[in-house]
Structure 1
Amino acid sequence: MAKDTEVAGRGEYGGKDYTDPPPAPLIDAEELTKWSLYRAAIAEFVATMLFLYVTVATVIGYKHQSDPNVNPADAACSGVGILGIAWAFGGMIFILVYCTAGISGGHINPAVTLGLFLARKVSLVRALLYMVAQCLGAICGVGLVKGFQEAYFVRYGGGANELSAGYSKGTGLAAEIIGTFVLVYTVFAATDPKRNARDSHVPVLAPLPIGFAVFMVHLATIPITGTGINPARSLGAAVIYNQDKAWDDQWIFWVGPFVGAAIAAAYHQYVLRASGAKAMGSFGSNA
């Protein structure tokens, strides 16, 4: 029997064998009394700290190894290269989402948290706490990199996101919007209960496509912005690096990801899923 059976001539579906979770309440003050909320926030903090430590250390290590002043004979072929940096970001997201999905949902990114909040997957209280934890974790992660690689940290840009020479701010903003749309769209698709029920014969490990989305976006946008698509990642590097250029471009790495996440949430909920109107309509109540 089909997973969704259409009633002929009426455009209705019956026999649904999956259950959409009810929309999260807009404000759930009761959450503040539950240890599970704080445990989840700690998981987001630690995951984002580890994410920034490994990825920024990879960026700094590559720039040092490929520095012609350090390795004049073979600088162009030294280090992991752009491909290796993209793998570091995508691979760490795969690992960390896999490890924390059962505790916090494995957001590790304020833009992902915003998208899930707009789709009523998490409450406002949880979303704000997650974003604070993610930003603090990112700052601590980059701080560890600076502590371990102090001799190279500032020299090689501190892993900070900056708009590359030759690109306009509009181009950088568009790259961040599209890149974050790809990521958040993948998050929704990989965690959609309807998809999981329909494709139950094809087991999907949700962290895998999410990690691949991060990997592919980095390949496309590292030359433009260094790839943000994660405001916590960009903020953490800017705070520790603390140079004017990183701060001048910082707005791109907040506006772009948040706009991209909002578009992805609206696209998935309104265009791909009939639950969109119901979810957004429930903003008026805490039910």
Structure 2
Amino acid sequence: MEGKEEDVRVGANKFSERQPIGTAAQGDDKDYKEPPPAPLFEPGELCSWSFYRAGIAEFIATFLFLYVSVLTVMGVVRADSKCSTVGIQGIAWAFGGMIFALVYCTAGISGGHINPAVTFGLFLARKLSLTRAVYYMVMQCLGAICGAGVVKGFEKGRYNSLGGGANVVNAGYTKGDGLGAEIVGTFVLVYTVFSATDAKRNARDSHVPILAPLPIGFAVFLVHLATIPITGTGINPARSLGAAIIYNKDHAWDDHWIFWVGPFIGAAPAALYHQVVIRAIPFKSK
């Protein structure tokens, strides 16, 4: 293990620039350095403390995310009148606000993914290795399960009767409606993540890295406003899995596939659009 800690910002790897890539490589006067694509497998990570520290950060962040957000959902559901609670807007603020706070806290340690769909999109864009992507997803799911479990501990007997914060396709909507809402919602989130962490923007505008958690959290807030009536808003497979496992009722599992397939489908075109259309990174200069 090296004496100094590795740079674990989103997209950073311990490799020198191998090959100029993208339109950014077409001039010698660029004011930033494009990170090289992450290798598919990076065995050296397994011997690095920062690798495990990053996974722990993802676990704790997802744990806290589920704890606060699902407790907010339960508080709204248990009330006889939504006017006496924070309502749907408050739920959206709880999810978006927690993402803003947690991304701010963990961005310099793990990249602040807190979502397997975000990790998947960044993996497709070669921002991190398969080793790290799988590790992050496992830790995110474990954190979500523990967070939802603590919520059940607080609610105790009323947890199941209040729905447990589990995602389901609501009455009046088809499974296709729910899948479409998850795809588009996740596209918005992942596209925002790519734009907020863009290396070129970070180099030219010094305020961008500091403000990055704000648009990401705000994107989560807006997507929740739009899709809570449809699916309760997943756009995060770990969040949906944690609530479903602790709630563990048949109707929650009936629609559960939507909250994995939708986010992963939505993340893929978001990564492709940003990398190929916005940045043209896959195209090497002559």
> What TM-score, normalized to structure 1?
0.88
Q: 1:120-269 maps to which residues of 2 (within 5 A)?
A: 120-200=126-206, 205-269=211-275
Q: In structure 2, what residue type is equivalent to 1:15?
A: D
> Structure 1, residues 178-208: CA drift from partner, whole Å, max 9, x if none?
0000000000000001122333477751100
1:30 maps to which of 35, 44, 66: 44
CA RMSD of aligned residues (A): 1.3
Return the alpha-carbon distance in structure 2 between the equivalents of residues 132 and 236 of structure 1: 12
Pick the structure with greater CA Rg: 1
Q: Which runs of 4+ in 1 moved over 4 A?
A: 201-204
Q: In structure 1, what residue type is equivalent to 2:149?
A: G
Return the alpha-carbon distance in structure 2 between the equivalents of residues 202 and 39 of structure 1: 25
2:91 matched residue in structure 1? 85
Aligned residues: 259
Return the alpha-carbon distance in structure 2 between the equivalents of residues 83 and 201 of structure 1: 29
Return the alpha-carbon distance in structure 2 between the equivalents of residues 93 and 102 of structure 1: 15
Return the alpha-carbon distance in structure 2 between the equivalents of residues 76 and 222 of structure 1: 14
Q: In structure 2, what residue type is equivalent to 1:271?
A: V
> What TM-score, normalized to structure 2?
0.88
8 Å contact 1:97–1:106 — kept in the other structure?
Answer: yes
| Cα offset, 1:153, TM superposition | 1.0
1:112 equivalent in alignment to 2:118: yes
> Structure 1, residues 6-52: CA drift from partner, whole Å, max 9, x if none?
xxxxxx54421111111111101111111111110000001000000
8 Å contact 1:266–1:276 — kept in the other structure?
Answer: no
2:103 matched residue in structure 1? 97
8 Å contact 1:115–1:184 — kept in the other structure?
Answer: yes
5+ residue gaps, structure 1, are 1-11, 68-74, 279-287
Do the aligned partners of residues 203 and 101 (structure 1) sit closer, same or farther apart at CA in structure 2, a change above 3 Å counting? closer
Do the aligned partners of residues 125 and 198 (structure 1) sit closer, same or farther apart at CA in structure 2, a change above 3 Å counting? same
8 Å contact 2:196–2:209 — kept in the other structure?
Answer: no
Q: In structure 2, what residue type is equivalent to 1:49?
A: F
8 Å contact 1:60–1:152 — kept in the other structure?
Answer: no
2:68 matched residue in structure 1? 54
2:282 matched residue in structure 1? 276
Return the alpha-carbon distance in structure 1 between the equivalents of residues 207 and 101 of structure 2: 24
Identity over aligned pairs, percent: 74
